[in-house]
Chain A
Amino acid sequence: GQNIDQPTEMTATEGAIVQINCTYQTSGFNGLFWYQQHAGEAPTFLSYNVLDGLEEKGRFSSFLSRSKGYSYLLLKELQMKDSASYLCAAYNNAGNMLTFGGGTRLMVKP
């Protein structure tokens, strides 16, 4: 079966750093996606990790440990516009499909 877990909600302060964790148990795993979704809008791609380690893209970084079934998204220098839901999704190579977690709603406060 497929199981993706991430916290439902998080709150952080503008200018701070926040880490959103994601654990997964999936068959045929071949990579981990992170998407951002503002309320009422379509999800947009943030990152894709297939190898272990940290990948940095400006204020956003994503980490993957395949042996631990664990990923996190790190957001630095938080801005109010970062208030959104962050979706973790495991990529299944066998079916070319994504299995999504429930999403983490991040609220950034002044």
Chain B
Amino acid sequence: DVKVTQSSRYLVKRTGEKVFLECVQDMDHENMFWYRQDPGLGLRLIYFSYDVKMKEKGDIPEGYSVSREKKERFSLILESASTNQTSMYLCASSAPGTGQEQFFGPGTRLTVL
């Protein structure tokens, strides 16, 4: 059974803290993605990666960075968390090629106080 896992389901942090969200996939996928999901706005792409040590900005990269040191792991970093980063964060992975299905993790609900 294919799987994308995320390190935490719920996380509470304080303004200014550095936050790490981890994502691991066991499908040997090249592509990995980080989204945030907010009511009425749908899923918005923050960053994605096509390969190890490679990253590309999505639609809303400001305030975030990413790291991909190993193929199976893609980390999202909030250098200095702010209240407007309170959201549901979803990680996804896909195989290379046109129109490949993205497999999603269960999500991390982050609250920044």
Could you tell me which A residues sit within 8 Å of B by CB distance?
4, 8, 30-31, 33, 41-45, 48, 50, 87, 89, 91, 93, 95-103
Q: Give chain B residues whose Cβ lies under 8 Å from the Cβ of A45.
A: 101-103
Of the candidate stretches B11-19, B44-52, B65-73, B76-84, the one touching chain A is: B44-52
Count the A-B residue pairs with Cβ separation under 8 angstroms: how many? Answer: 53
- Given A41-B106, A96-B50, A97-B48 in contact, is the A48-B99 Cβ separation under 8 Å? yes
With both beta carbons as reference points, the residue of chain A lying nearest to B30 in the complex is identified as A96
CA distance A97 to B102 in the complex (A): 10
Q: How many residues of B contact A (CB 8 A)?
A: 25
Quick check: B107 and A42 within 8 Å, CB to CB?
A: yes
- Option from A42, A87, A96 in Cβ contact (under 8 Å) with B42: A87
Quick check: A8 and B40 within 8 Å, CB to CB?
A: yes
CA distance A44 to B48 in the complex (A): 19
Quick check: B106 and A93 within 8 Å, CB to CB?
A: no
Quick check: A100 and B99 within 8 Å, CB to CB?
A: no
B30-59 CB contacts (< 8 Å) to partner A = 31, 35, 40-45, 48, 50, 56, 58-59
Quick check: B45 and A96 within 8 Å, CB to CB?
A: no
- Option from B58, B101, B103 in Cβ contact (under 8 Å) with A97: B58
Q: Give chain A residues whose Cβ lies under 8 Å from the Cβ of B40.
A: 8, 102
With both beta carbons as reference points, the residue of chain B lying nearest to A42 in the complex is identified as B104
With both beta carbons as reference points, the residue of chain A lying nearest to B102 in the complex is identified as A98
Other A-B contacts than A41-B106, A42-B107, 13 sampled, CB-CB below 8 A, are: A30-B99, A31-B98, A41-B107, A43-B90, A93-B98, A97-B45, A98-B43, A98-B45, A99-B45, A100-B43, A100-B44, A102-B40, A103-B42
